Amino acid sequence: MEEQTQSTSPINYESDLLITKLAISYMKETAKWSKFLSIIGFIGSGLMVIIGLFASAVMSSMFNTYGSGAGGFSSITFGIMYVLMGALYFVPSLYLYNYSNKMKLALATSNAVELEEAFLNQKSLFKFWGVLTIVIISFYLLFAIFGLLAFMMM
């Protein structure tokens, strides 16, 4: 039996990473775009909350005026869903905003701690979207299974 040796040396994670000027320019541009997108996200989540509250009140008033037994429930459900979606959309916008601010500060001051915090917010943003994506896909699968079962029982 022959022993196989590695031709490459192991990575030393204790050493400092050098960041090139080109990488810094990419990070600066990313920070600018992430700031823009986070502000758009804040505006969008605020509009969702306002629409949820306003539309719920308007729909409830319309259903009371024109009459509908289930109308009150559906208008409240509609409003709650929009408010929840607005709150849910606020979280990734906040992570993105914090990433942008921390990255700009880290690059302006060459502060490694701020850079780490920027990447921590970026990691949290991607983790949030990843978990949310898994949850949504799971709901789609459950709805498909229940739909298929309901179709088979007809």
Q: Which residue range forms the structural domain that includes residue 47? A: 22-153
pLDDT tens figures, 3-57: 444 444 445 556 677 889 999 999 999 999 999 999 999 999 999 999 988 887 7
Does residue 8 form part of some domain? no
pLDDT value at residue 12? 52
Does residue 14 form part of some domain? no
Domain count for the chain: 1
Residues 6+ apart with CB under 8 A from 9: none
Does residue 3 form part of some domain? no
Does residue 10 form part of some domain? no
Does residue 6 form part of some domain? no
| C-alpha dihedral, 39 to 103 to 21 to 8, nearest 10° | -120
* DSSP labels, 62-93: HHHHH--TTHHHHHHHHHHHHHHHHHHHHHHH
Does residue 13 form part of some domain? no
- Rounded to 5 degrees, φ, ψ at 7 are -85, -15
Q: How far apart (Å, rounded) are the C-alpha atoms in residues 48 and 85?
A: 7
Residue 62 predicted with pLDDT over 90: no
Does residue 5 form part of some domain? no
pLDDT value at residue 64? 64
